[in-house]
Amino acid sequence: VNIAFIEEWARFAEGVGVDLFEVIDAIRVRPTHSNIRQPGFGVGGYCLTKDPLFARFAAVEHFSRPDLDFPFSHLAVEVNSAMPLASLDRAQSMLDGGLSGKGILLLGVSYRPGIGDTRFSPSQFFLERARNLGAHVSVHDPLVRYWPEVDLEVPVDLPSPQGVDIVVFAVAHEAYRGLDLATWLDGSKLAILDANNVLTAEQRHTLSEAGCRVECIGRGEAAS
CATH of domain 2-80: 1.10.1040.10
Report which secondary-structure segment, H or E, holds 191.
Answer: strand 191-194
pTM: 0.87
Q: Is the domain defined by 84-216 classed in CATH 3.40.50.2300?
A: no
d(CA 188, CA 15): 29
pLDDT digits (tens, 9 = 90+) for 44-85: 776 765 666 677 778 888 889 988 888 788 787 787 888 899
pLDDT digits (tens, 9 = 90+) for 163-204: 999 999 999 999 999 899 889 999 999 999 999 999 999 999
pLDDT, position 2:
80
Sequence ranges of the domains in the chain: 2-80, 84-216
d(CA 52, CA 50): 6
HSE-CB of 117 using CA atoms within 13 angstroms: 12
DSSP assignment of 97-149 equals T-STT-EEEEE--SSSTT----TT-HHHHHHHHHHHTT-EEEEE-TT-SEEGG
pLDDT, position 104:
98
